[in-house]
Copies of this chain bind each other. A is one copy, B any other.
Amino acid sequence: MKFIIQRQQLISSVQDVMKAISSRTAIPILTGMKIEAKSNGITLTGSDSDISIESFIPAEEDGMINADHIEEGSVVLQARYFPDIVRKLPEKTVEIEADENFNVTIQSGKAKFNLNGQDANEYPQLPKLQTENSFEIQSDLLKNLIRQTGFAVSTMETRPILTGVNIKVENETLSFTGTDSHRLAAKSIPLGGVNFSLSNIVVPGKSLNELSKILDDKGEKVEISVTSNQILFRTKHLHFLSRLLDGNYPETSRLIPDHSQTVLHVKRKELMDTIDRASLLAREERNNVVKLITKDHQSLQITSNSPEVGQAAEEVSIQSIEGEDLKISFSSKYMLDALKVIENDDVVIEFTGAMRPFIMKPANDDSVLQLILPVRTY
């Protein structure tokens, strides 16, 4: 194997593929990165037990030469050293060569590295996905779906299924849902021309988080294909494969209240800043609890109390308040997480009593739903 490659292209592909490589893995060769040279380009592969990523650098693209002097072949290199070496090399191009004993030479200008490689035949084959269940979405929309739901998944392994995001395709709608059983985040977007439905697809939150870091924001097309135990996200030069979580995702629709007793319209930023300040004196308490109090249908107050330290209280201006007056306590962290991902200056909060879950939405937008369970403080 031999090729000369543009270093910037290589750095960016290596960075993407590294997101799938872990130094702690049961299969030693997976601590390495597979490099495969073919006449049409170079493919890098990384994998752990959850995610596999393949990044392809075409030899030529849009009239630009990315790689040339290609002699076909493949090798596996230790991922602990290769990325730093590539990043710190002095010149714009890098020559990489492997001999029949997998001794690899990496050369750029006067800098020369010899690394012990491994036989690429010992690297596991990635499964080829055979499925009819595939659809396309723009990368910026996909990143948004992940950003607005992924933060709400559970980080605890007590109910493993909740560490994933539930992806559904139904009635030409694509929806993502994340919940840790104390709060829930859901977002749906229309998906035209899809004649199948998917319901129990649960992708590890960590996988989606890594995917989100790799996808660009320019709205390139992502093809999503699903089998019974894997999901593949494919762009022009990238294959991102994740395992699915086993088990039945809970039916979440019945958690969402269908009526409300108190409806608040407030400015998102002002509410967020006020809760952020109040949370400073809620640290001592379990869950960073703050309290929201409405008075006489016209004022809204956020308070917190940490007996040893002190109290905070602040009024928030409201645009409107309908229904009954309310006192309710909740985790300031959950509330801030939810407010952060809402992309609208105005939010609507609908309460059905101090002990019932409440929901929060951008004003005039039903595609996003944030649900939070209150905290009992009496």
Contacts and interface: CB of A to CB of B under 8 A. Distances in A.
Interface of A: 78, 81, 84-85, 88-90, 104, 110-116, 273-274, 276-277, 280-281, 308-316
A266 to B, nearest CB: 14
Given A81-B281, A81-B309, A113-B312, 16 more contacts: A81-B280, A84-B280, A88-B280, A104-B310, A110-B314, A110-B316, A111-B277, A111-B314, A112-B313, A112-B314, A113-B280, A113-B281, A113-B310, A114-B310, A114-B312, A116-B309
A112 B276 contact: no
Nearest to A312: B113
Contacts of A273: 88, 90
Nearest to A82: B280
- Most chain B CB within 10 A, of A276, A308, A312, is at A312
B314 A115 contact: no
A363 B221 CA distance: 56
A78 to B, nearest CB: 6
Contacts of A89: 277
A333 to B, nearest CB: 15
Contacts of A309: 78, 81, 115-116
A286 to B, nearest CB: 18
Nearest to A103: B310
